[in-house]
Amino acid sequence: MGAPDAARWKATWKQGSGTTLPSSGVVQLVMPELWLRWAPEGGTPRELSCGVAVPACLLAVDGAVRVDLLGLWMETPPTDGNDRTVLKRVLVPRLLKRGGDLLKALRLPAQRFLGQPMDLTPSLVDVTDRYLVVATGPRPDPAPVSAVDWPTGKEVFCLVAPALVKRLVNAAAQQEADKHEPVVDVDETLTGVLQATLQAYFRGLKDLRVDARDPTRLTAGVDIAWKGGVTLFPIARGEGCALVEATQNM
C-alpha cells in the first residue's frame, strides 16, 4: 500500500505521458525477482533477473474499481542500449496494457443486508497507511464522496453515510415487525383475585431521522400495538377489600 518514494518514481519507466504521481489511491505490485529471457531473431539470447515494482492507481469509475498501471521500475535494468529500448518501448508497454486490461472493471457483487437486497456502487477508492478504503453508496446515484482522515489503528472499520444508516435501520425494523412475535408477553395470576394478560407487538418505526453531523444518533417514533385483559375471580360479597367489591359491581 502506498506510493513509491521519490527516487524509485524517478527511475520508473512511466506509462504514457504521466510524470506526476497521483495524490491518493496509489499501490505497488512488488515482485522480489522477475526473470526475463528474450532474443532477436537469429541473435544471441538475453537474460535478466532483478527485482521489479509496478505502481498503480486505484480509481472509482462508472460504478467499478479500476486499476490504472503507472509504469515499471527495475532494480537492475539492462545496460545494453538496444536491450533497454526493446524492454522500454516494446515489451514493457504491452505487458502493462495487458495487466491493466485484466485488472479493470472490478465490481462489487450485490449484497443482502437484513433481508434487503442492496447494490452498492464504489464512489471513491483511497489508500492510507496500510489500508485500502472503498467508499460505496446505493445505486443508481451514489452521493459524492471526498477523501477524509480515515480511521487508523483498526484492522477493519466501516464508514456509513446517514442515508445508508437510515435505510439499514428501517430494513432491520421491518424485518423485526414481519416476525409478528410479541415483544412483551405477560400472563400473571394473583391467586383468588385476578388473572392479567398483556401482549405488545412491534409494528415498525415512524419518521426515522439520522443526525447529519453524527450518524450514530437516530430518532424515531415507535409503533407498538398493545393487547391485554383482566379477569376478576368471583369473591363472596362482604369479603375482600373495598376495591375488589367495587370492581365486581362494574
The predicted model gives 120-142 an average pLDDT of: 71
On whether the CB atoms of residues 167 and 181 are closer than 8 A, the answer is no
CA dist 117 and 102 (Å) reads 28
Helices (H) and strands (E) in the chain, counts: 5, 12
CA dist 117 and 94 (Å) reads 40
The predicted model gives 91-101 an average pLDDT of: 74
Q: In terms of Cα–Cα distance, which of 134, 143, 139, 145 is closest to 117? A: 139
Q: How confident is the model at residue 5 (pLDDT cuts 50, 70, 90)?
A: very high
Q: How confident is the model at residue 196 (pLDDT cuts 50, 70, 90)?
A: confident
pLDDT greater at residue 97 or residue 209: 209
Q: What is the DSSP letter of 164?
A: H
Residues 6+ apart with CB under 8 A from 20: none
| Phi, psi of 2, deg, nearest 5 | 105, 165
List pLDDT tens digits, range 45-82: 888 888 888 898 888 887 777 888 888 898 988 888 88
Residues 6+ apart with CB under 8 A from 141: none
CA dist 148 and 68 (Å) reads 22
Q: What is the DSSP letter of 90?
A: I
Q: Is the pTM of this model over 0.75?
A: no
Q: How confident is the model at residue 220 (pLDDT cuts 50, 70, 90)?
A: very high
Distances (CA, A) of 157 to 25, 29, 120, 131, 151: 18, 24, 17, 10, 7
